[in-house]
Amino acid sequence: MRFRGLAWVLATWFGTGRFPAMPGTIGSLAALPVVYLTVWGGPWVIFELAWILLLVGVWASVVVIKETYAPDPQYIVIDEVVGQVLTFLFVSQGQVPLWMLGAGFVLFRICDILKPWPACAFDRQHDAFGVMMDDVVAGLYAAGLLYLLKLFV
């Protein structure tokens, strides 16, 4: 396949998914610099970035899943990147303080681990779309929680 290497680089988010322990957490952490650099643009920039990463992530996940025959390999972490970006959708109005980056990270990881409905339904799909969409849903839940937290802090 012509773009096989690029698919692996993106699916593992530049190799962070290959960490031996907690690849999802490491992938989420690796997304924070991207979030920090894009929140300045506001919610539309965050939305557009998430949309592009979702499309790229589905493609890259299809390539990796076909190559490995694994339905949801842990080393695919571009889904965590999309979810982590979406977490900041409702609070991206210029500068985001560091405490909010930390809170968004923690809230996304909690939602990603708990997989509230319909994230759990996507998680059971065992295909590239399901791999990506369970983290999209977790990111949207975390976005709502982070917005509520911002209102009260």
Distance CA 4, CA 17 (A): 16
Tell me, what's the pLDDT at 94? Answer: 73
Residue given tokens 């799909």 in the structure block? 125
Q: Binning pLDDT at 50, 70 and 90, where does residue 70 land?
A: confident
Averaged pLDDT, 29-38 = 92
8 Å CB contact between 131 and 64: no
Per-residue pLDDT tens over the stretch 78-108: 999 999 999 999 987 777 888 999 999 999 9
Domain extent, residue 93, equals 4-152
Distance CA 101, CA 33 (A): 10
Averaged pLDDT, 16-25 = 90
Tell me, what's the pLDDT at 135? Answer: 96
Between residues 74 and 61, which one has the greater pLDDT? 61
Between residues 1 and 29, which one has the greater pLDDT? 29
Work out the percent of the chain whose per-residue pLDDT is above 70: 99
Count how many domains the chain has: 1
Between residues 69 and 27, which one has the greater pLDDT? 27
Between residues 94 and 17, which one has the greater pLDDT? 17
User: Does residue 48 surpass a pLDDT of 90?
Assistant: yes
